[in-house]
Amino acid sequence: MLSVLHCPEQVGSHPAILSKFERKLGVSSLSVSENSNPYAVESDKNFGSMTSSMLITEILRIKLILTTSFSDGIIHLNNGRFITPFFGEGVHPKEHNFPSYIRKLFRFYAKCLLQTEIALFRLKGDRKAAFLTFQGSDARETQCFIDKYQENGLANDIIGRSGKTNKSIRSKKIKLSGIADKIYSLNPDLLTVLPKGAEFLPYATEAPLNAKVMPIKQCGEFVVGHAPTHRMVKGTDCILDVIERLKNRGYNIRLELIENLQRVDALKKFEQIDVFVDQLIIGWFGVVSLEVMALGKPVICFVKGKGLKFVPKKMLAELPILNADETSLENKIIEVYNMNVEQKTNQANKGIEFLKTWYDPQKIADKVVTDYKAVLSGRTQNCI
C-alpha cells in the first residue's frame, strides 16, 4: 500500500483534507503538524503543542526527520518548508521573546539540523519521493506583486514583516527544490518565482461537499465580512475607509471583522454576512473565500497578475469572484448592496457550481495520488 506523510504544518486545512481524501483512495496517508491550529481543520497528529517544552518538541522533530528519512513512500512537505524551521535574514517577531544569545544558539542548531535533514532526503531511493506544496508567503517575492505595489514599497513591507527578504526566501526555495520530485502551488502568483515544472493546484477543501445557499435577506443592515489574518496583506485599512465612506453617504452598512476566532466560530459569523471581502493586494483568493462561497455569499477579491497564466482558462472563465482593487471596491460593494433576491441567488448558484467543479477534494486527491504513483513508478513525469 502506498504510504504518504503530510507535514510539518497545518495552514488553511489543505494538508489535512488532502490526506483524508487520499485515504478514501486506499492510500495510507497521515497528516502531522508541529502544533495544533485552531483556525484550521486539525491534523491527524501533532508532534508538539503550545504547552510542550522546546526540548521535547525538538526531540520529537528529530524523531520525525529520522522516521521519514528511513521509510518508503511519499513525504509531502507543506507550507513551503522543511520539518526543520528555516530562518530569514531578519528577526522573526516570535524571536523577540528570547535573548540574542538564545536566538543565535537556536539558529545554529536549526542550521545543523537542516543540513542533516537535506542530506538524509538526498539518500532516498526509487521507493521514496518528496513532494512540496507552497501556499503563499512561504514563497512570495516582491516580483509576485503588481507593479504598483513593487514601486510604492508595499511589496517589500509585506515580504519583510516576518524577518524575510527576497534573498532568504530564494535560498529556502533552492534548498527545497534540491530534494523535490514534484512541486505544487496553491496560489498561482507563486509560480512566477518557483522552478520550472511546478504547477497550480486548487485548495483541498470540504466546502463543496456541504454547500448550501443561506436565506437571502433583502432589507435591514448590510453586513460586509472581512477576515484580516494579516492586515497589510489583505488591504484591511482600505476596506475600513471604504465602509466608513459608505456610512457617511447614508448606506445602512457595517463591517464585521472576523479574526482571532476558532474555525467553527468563524463559520458561524460567515453565515450572518451579506458579502465577503477577501483581499485587495495579492491577486488571488484564499480558502476562506471558498468556505464563504459554499454558503451562497458573494465574494469580492483582487484577482490579477502574471500568475493567472498558470490557471486553466476554463476555470478563470467560470470564476464567480467579483474583482475589485482599492479604487473600485466602493462601487463593487454598492453593486452587491443593490442586488435583488434573484441576482443574489444567481450569484450564489454560480459560486457553488464553481466549487463543485474546481474544488472537489476527491478529484484533487485523485490527481495528487496519480502524481505520487507516476513519480514512484520509474519517475516517468517531468519532475523537478
Contact 6, 29 (CB under 8 A): yes
Quick one: average pLDDT of 90-109?
A: 81
Structure pTM? Answer: 0.91
Query: Phi and psi of 193, rounded to 5°?
Result: -125, 15
Residue 223 maps to a domain: yes
Q: Are residues 288 and 367 in the same domain?
A: no
Using alpha carbons, list the distances in angstroms from residue 83 to 77, 205, 383.
8, 23, 22
Q: What is the pLDDT of residue 32?
A: 95
- Which carries the bigger pLDDT value, residue 208 or residue 260? 208
Q: Are residues 159 and 290 in the same domain?
A: no
Residue 345 maps to a domain: yes
Residue 382 maps to a domain: no
Q: Are residues 109 and 227 in the same domain?
A: no
Q: How confident is the model at residue 51 (pLDDT cuts 50, 70, 90)?
A: low
Quick check: 382 pLDDT over 50?
no
Q: Are residues 111 and 219 in the same domain?
A: no
Q: Are residues 319 and 334 in the same domain?
A: yes
Q: Are residues 122 and 40 in the same domain?
A: yes
Q: Are residues 131 and 13 in the same domain?
A: yes
| % of the chain surpassing 90 pLDDT | 69
SS (H, E, C) the chain: CCEEEEECCCCCCHHHHHHHHHHCCCCEEEEEECCCCCCCCCCCEECCCCCCCHHHHHHHHHHHHHHHHCCCEEEEECCCCCCCCCCCCCCCHHHHHCCHHHHHHHHHHHHHHHHHHHHHHCCCCCCEEEEEEECCCCCCCHHHCCHHHHHCCHHHHHHHCCCCCHHHHHHHHHHHHCCCCEEEECCHHHHHCCCCCCEECCCCCCHHHHCCCCCCCCCCCEEEEECCCCHHHHCHHHHHHHHHHHHHCCCCEEEEECCCCCHHHHHHHHCCCCEEECCCCCECCCHHHHHHHCCCCCEEECECCHHHHHCCHHHHHHCCCEECCCCCHHHHHHHHHCCCHHHHHHHHHHHHHHHHHHCCHHHHHHHHHHHHHHHHCCCCCCCC
Residue 320 maps to a domain: yes
Quick check: 40 pLDDT over 70?
yes
Split into its structural domains, the chain has a count of 2
Residue 352 maps to a domain: yes
Radius of gyration of the chain (CA): 21
Q: Are residues 219 and 192 in the same domain?
A: no
Contact 280, 269 (CB under 8 A): no
Q: Are residues 9 and 129 in the same domain?
A: yes
Q: What is the pLDDT of residue 92?
A: 67
CATH at 261: 3.40.50.2000
Give the residue numbers spanning the domain of 159: 3-205+361-376
Determine which of 9-13, 64-68, 333-337 has the lowest per-residue pLDDT on average: 9-13
Q: Are residues 17 and 111 in the same domain?
A: yes
Q: What is the pLDDT of residue 54?
A: 84
CATH at 184: 3.40.50
Quick check: 313 pLDDT over 90?
yes
Q: How confident is the model at residue 378 (pLDDT cuts 50, 70, 90)?
A: low
- Which carries the bigger pLDDT value, residue 211 or residue 52? 211
Tens digits of per-residue pLDDT, 329-342?
A: 999 999 999 999 99
Q: Are residues 265 and 333 in the same domain?
A: yes
Mean pLDDT score of the chain: 91
Total residue count of the chain as it appears in this document? 384
Q: Are residues 10 and 157 in the same domain?
A: yes
Quick check: 279 pLDDT over 90?
yes
Contacts of 10 by beta carbon, 8 Å cutoff, 6+ apart = 16, 31, 33, 36, 37, 40, 41, 42, 43, 78
Using alpha carbons, list the distances in angstroms from residue 260 to 38, 40, 82.
9, 12, 27
Q: How confident is the model at residue 37 (pLDDT cuts 50, 70, 90)?
A: confident
